[in-house]
Structure 1
Amino acid sequence: GMEIIMIERIANSISEKIVMYNHNSGDKEIYNYGLQIIFNTLFSISAVLLSGAFFHEFTGAVLFLISYCSVRLFAGGLHAGTNNRCMMIFISGYIITYLILRNLTVHFNPSIVCFLILLNCMILFWAPVDALNNPISDKFRRSMKNKALFISLLISTAVSLLLYYEFEAGKWAFAGLCWVCLILVTGKINNIFMSRGNYHHEKV
């Protein structure tokens, strides 16, 4: 879309100025890529917050963002190929969540507890999901897993308390955790298929 083109142009313009200042043209692509990630992230968060305000669910949007972003930062997940695709998946995820939850009342019950346990087990066993072409060390992997699980357990506790005391806002934090686990599982499955494809290709 037009916004994506604008982000690319702004990132390119700033990276050119940085390169001119540093006199190191070899780093232009690195600056450009980093700036695009920053701008895409800011645009995605702004789009979700504006959507939440438009839907009269600003608090829900904030809780969804806190839940999703804090765990996703350490859990990893599906890598959509480009920053722009990641951005569109993220924004679409919130809109889909809103459409599902807008008229849905979620009460605290044993099913919610079981589902929260399942989500945390997914993070325990599968996080972090990294890119196959950019694997991380075992030490860093353990650190990221521990952080993702710790944050997920905190959010699960907050969700349980909010729903137990009948605060509707709890469902948005719950949805954020569900969405990040969906991205996690999708990324894990995608990596399995890709690694199998690479294995068969090498055998041939």
Structure 2
Amino acid sequence: MIKLISSKVARILCKDEKHTDNYELYEYAIYIILSSAFHMATVIVLGLVFNLLTESLVFYLSFIVIRKFAGGYHAKTPVRCYLFSFASNIIILCLVKWLSSINTLFIFIFIIFELLCVVLILLISPLDTENNPLTGQEKKMYRMLTSIITILIFIISSLCFFKGYRNIGSSMICGVVMSALVLLMRKIQIINMRIKK
């Protein structure tokens, strides 16, 4: 559906041009904007349904800002991508609700798990894709940005726990954990592709 809307809007935008060379560029740009808006709307709706709107947004932004530079697994189709995002958001919000009621010992265990995920992210990022290969210079820059962002999120999430903002802290931790998970999935995907060659 988003693809169809993108195509129609791109046709309208290219109608007044003498050359339609920019059609594919417009279509792709509109598709990305609509997909992002649809994902954000889903995050907001799920946050409202679970009565965890702030936590839902904090998780999503923590995840997206790391993924932007670290990379990670990409589903083969937009529908699979959406379903994966939808399911993971529901799981994360259930986890945040659960974390708000557990004792401090489990919180320390969860923070240690987050630290392990931080180390994993720092070790294997950035991972590029066939559609978006990174140059050596880009990899260095992305690795540095990923390191700064991930460590910063780890520090802020830990401080949130100790300052009494447990839900916000656990949402950020979940963003780090999800980033590590999609990176690991992408690494396995790359290894499998090399084995098949």
Native 8 Å contact 1:132 1:191 kept in 2: no
Equivalent position amino acid for 2:157 in 1: V
Counterparts of 1:177-188 in structure 2, within 5 Å, are 177-188=176-187
Taking a change above 3 Å as real, the CA distance of residues 21 and 128 of structure 1, as seen in their structure-2 partners, is: farther
Shift of 1:99: 2.4
Among residues 9, 15, 19, which one is paired with 1:24 in the alignment?
19
Task: Quote the residue 1:202 is aligned against.
Answer: none
Among residues 145, 156, 160, which one is paired with 1:158 in the alignment?
156
Native 8 Å contact 2:14 2:20 kept in 1: yes
- Normalized against structure 1, the TM-score is what? 0.86
Among residues 44, 48, 53, which one is paired with 1:53 in the alignment?
48
Unpaired runs of 5+ in structure 1? 200-204
Among residues 64, 72, 76, which one is paired with 2:67 in the alignment?
72
Task: Quote the residue 1:145 is aligned against.
Answer: 143
Equivalent position amino acid for 2:30 in 1: L
Shift of 1:19: 2.0
Task: Quote the residue 1:118 is aligned against.
Answer: 116
Native 8 Å contact 1:41 1:87 kept in 2: no
2:167 is aligned with 1:172: no
Unpaired runs of 5+ in structure 2? none
Task: Quote the residue 1:101 is aligned against.
Answer: 96
2:195 is aligned with 1:196: yes
Equivalent position amino acid for 1:116 in 2: E
Shift of 1:54: 1.6
Taking a change above 3 Å as real, the CA distance of residues 110 and 54 of structure 1, as seen in their structure-2 partners, is: closer
Q: Secondary structure at the match of 2:51?
A: coil
Native 8 Å contact 2:70 2:146 kept in 1: yes
Native 8 Å contact 2:118 2:176 kept in 1: no
Counterparts of 1:79-98 in structure 2, within 5 Å, are 79-98=74-93
Cα distance in 1 between the residues matched to 2:51 and 2:134: 41
Identity across matched positions, percent? 25
CA RMSD of aligned residues (A): 1.9
Aligned residue pair count = 193
Taking a change above 3 Å as real, the CA distance of residues 112 and 103 of structure 1, as seen in their structure-2 partners, is: closer
Shift of 1:135: 1.7
Native 8 Å contact 2:121 2:179 kept in 1: no
Shift of 1:85: 2.6
Cα distance in 2 between the residues matched to 1:22 and 1:128: 39
Cα distance in 1 between the residues matched to 2:77 and 2:69: 19
- Normalized against structure 2, the TM-score is what? 0.89
